């Protein structure tokens, strides 16, 4: 398995998962397109990676803006000549209210974070993967998309929409050499609490390193037959 010289797009690159995954990809020789809204955090991230400038491109971009998202894709193509993978890590959560209590803004926020950003990056980047005849699309979702919890409606609705988007994309990509898959996590355990302070509640949480390991496998040639999968990473 090798991803050396593959051009990999990581959205939400400076987040708790994004930063860990970016370091893993850099160590394995990938060329990186790192997207985030926070330009300062992007600068800090790339400084820590100690990569030569020809191996990465950073863009501060609002993924809710289709034009900005397409411009980022065009910049990546101009820099590297090809795009091989899209790892969309942008997410977020809001909840704690019943559907009868939740303001409309909560649902709008979740639809924006999970569906609209996904839709925009798919339209901007996936045509370039298809043009290669090889590519990988990976997004992070949640078991709550199919089995929602009380007082988590807006989040579950957003994640359900994101899942439907990617599963539809997987069907449409059949025969192209490009796959689209989902990794399911209940909670991303950035602080490694399930190790340092284990409880029955956090036993099913997933560390960034565990998610990164699954992503790295899906990026491999050996994973080319996996398409349209929802892979659970919350066994506990």
Residues 6+ apart with CB under 8 A from 19: 13, 45, 208
Burial class (CB in 10 A: 0-12, 13-18, 19+), 117: buried
CA–CA gap between residue 20 and residue 215 (Å, rounded) = 12
Q: Return the percentage of the chain with pLDDT > 90, whole number.
A: 97
CA–CA gap between residue 163 and residue 166 (Å, rounded) = 5
Q: Mean pLDDT over residues 95-124, rounded? A: 97
Averaged confidence pLDDT in the chain: 96
* Rg, Å, the chain Cα set: 17
pLDDT at 236: 59
Residue-wise pLDDT tens digits, 201-223 = 999 999 999 999 999 999 999 99
Does the pLDDT of residue 50 top 90, yes or no?
no
Q: How sure is the predictor about 2, in pLDDT bands with cuts at 50, 70 and 90?
A: confident
Q: Mean pLDDT over residues 184-208, rounded? A: 95
9 phi/psi in degrees, rounded to 5 = -95, 130
Which domains are seen in the chain, by residue range? 7-232 (3.40.50.720)
CA–CA gap between residue 233 and residue 186 (Å, rounded) = 8
Q: Return the percentage of the chain with pLDDT > 70, whole number.
A: 99
Q: Which two tokens stand for residue 172?
A: 């449409």
Q: Mean pLDDT over residues 134-140, rounded? A: 98
Q: Mean pLDDT over residues 160-183, rounded? A: 98
Q: Mean pLDDT over residues 3-10, rounded? A: 96
179 has which bridge partners?
A: 136
Residue-wise pLDDT tens digits, 16-41 = 999 999 999 999 999 999 999 999 99
Q: Mean pLDDT over residues 95-116, rounded? A: 97
The Cβ of residue 145 has, within 10 Å, a number of other Cβ atoms equal to 21
Residue given tokens 């439907």 in the structure block: 164
* pTM of structure: 0.96
Alpha helix (H) residue ranges in the chain:
16-27, 39-49, 66-80, 104-110, 117-132, 153-172, 193-196, 208-218
Residue-wise pLDDT tens digits, 52-86 = 999 999 999 999 999 999 999 999 999 999 999 99
- Under a CB-based contact definition with an 8 Å cutoff, are residues 115 and 169 in contact? no
Q: Which two tokens stand for residue 153?
A: 């409606």
pLDDT at 171: 98
Pick from 73, 69, 70: nearest CA to 57: 73
């Amino acid at each position: 398995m090798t991803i050396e010289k593959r051009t990999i797009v990581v959205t939400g690159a400076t987040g708790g998962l994004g930063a860990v995954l970016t370091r893993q990809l850099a160590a394995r020789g990938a060329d990186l397109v790192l997207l985030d809204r926070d330009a300062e955090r992007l600068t800090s991230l790339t400084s820590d990676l100690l990569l030569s400038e020809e191996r990465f491109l950073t863009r501060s971009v609002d993924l809710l803006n289709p034009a900005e998202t397409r411009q980022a894709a065009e910049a990546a193509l101009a820099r590297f000549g090809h795009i091989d993978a899209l790892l969309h890590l942008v997410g977020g959560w809001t909840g704690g209210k019943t559907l009868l209590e939740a303001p409309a803004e909560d649902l709008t926020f979740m639809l924006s974070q999970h569906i609209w950003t996904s839709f925009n990056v798919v339209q901007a980047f996936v045509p370039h993967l298809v043009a290669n005849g090889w590519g990988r699309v990976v997004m992070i979702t949640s078991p709550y998309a199919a089995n929602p919890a009380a007082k988590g409606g807006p989040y579950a609705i957003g994640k359900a929409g994101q899942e439907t988007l990617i599963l539809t994309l997987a069907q449409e990509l059949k025969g192209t050499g490009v796959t689209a898959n989902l990794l399911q996590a209940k909670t991303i355990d950035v602080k490694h609490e399930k190790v340092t302070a284990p409880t029955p509640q956090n036993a099913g949480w997933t560390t960034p390193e565990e998610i990164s390991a699954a992503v790295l496998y899906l990026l491999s040639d050996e994973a080319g037959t996996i398409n349209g999968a929802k892979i659970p990473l919350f066994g506990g």
